[in-house]
């Protein structure tokens, strides 16, 4: 049971994020929602790489007695997560700057009022 908790957390985070994007009106909260989804996905990737009793996957400084490669946690998901975090920061910064400019032009952060483009 205990090993499923990370996956439950992942699904919960994705749903919380989706809830925020779908049903919150404030643009900042929508951005926070997207951030939560991203953290959920990152957590998922990290969980994939976990091995019980594994050591950090640094080939040159393996503790003596580790079996290679079975004794290491998987390095690929960590690389993926790092990349994903970097991209996430860029997207987050872009979104927040857009929200800032939208507030200047529209004078509101309510997503229902920011719809001059419709129909």
Q: Which residues bind other proteins (CB under 8 A)?
A: 14, 18, 21-25, 27, 30, 34, 37-38, 41, 44-45, 48, 76-77, 80, 83-84, 87, 90-91, 94-95, 98-99, 101-102, 105-106, 111-112, 114-119
The residue among 30 and 73 lying less far from other proteins, judged by its C-beta, is: 30
111: which residues sit within 8 A by CB, 6+ positions away? 24, 25, 26, 27, 30
Quick one: which of 58, 49, 54 has its CA closest to 72?
A: 54
The residue among 55 and 113 lying less far from other proteins, judged by its C-beta, is: 113
Residues 62, 67, 68, CA angle at the centre, nearest 5°?
70
Give dist(CA 7, CA 84) in Å, integer. 18
The residue among 65 and 116 lying less far from other proteins, judged by its C-beta, is: 116
The residue among 5 and 115 lying less far from other proteins, judged by its C-beta, is: 115
Instruction: Tell me how far, at minimum, the Cβ of 94 lies from other proteins, in Å.
Output: 6
Do 67 and 90 form a contact (C-beta atoms < 8 A)? no
Instruction: Tell me how far, at minimum, the Cβ of 82 lies from other proteins, in Å.
Output: 12
């Amino acid at each position: 049971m205990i090993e499923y908790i990370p996956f439950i957390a992942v699904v919960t985070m994705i749903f919380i994020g989706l809830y925020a994007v779908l049903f919150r009106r404030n643009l900042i909260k929508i951005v926070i929602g997207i951030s939560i989804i991203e953290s959920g996905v990152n957590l998922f990737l990290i969980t994939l790489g976990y091995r019980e009793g594994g050591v950090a996957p640094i080939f040159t400084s393996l503790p003596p007695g580790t079996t290679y490669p079975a004794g290491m946690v998987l390095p690929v998901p960590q690389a993926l997560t790092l990349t994903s975090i970097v991209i996430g920061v860029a997207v987050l910064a872009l979104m927040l700057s857009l929200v800032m400019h939208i507030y200047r032009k529209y004078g509101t952060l309510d997503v229902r009022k920011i719809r001059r483009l419709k129909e």
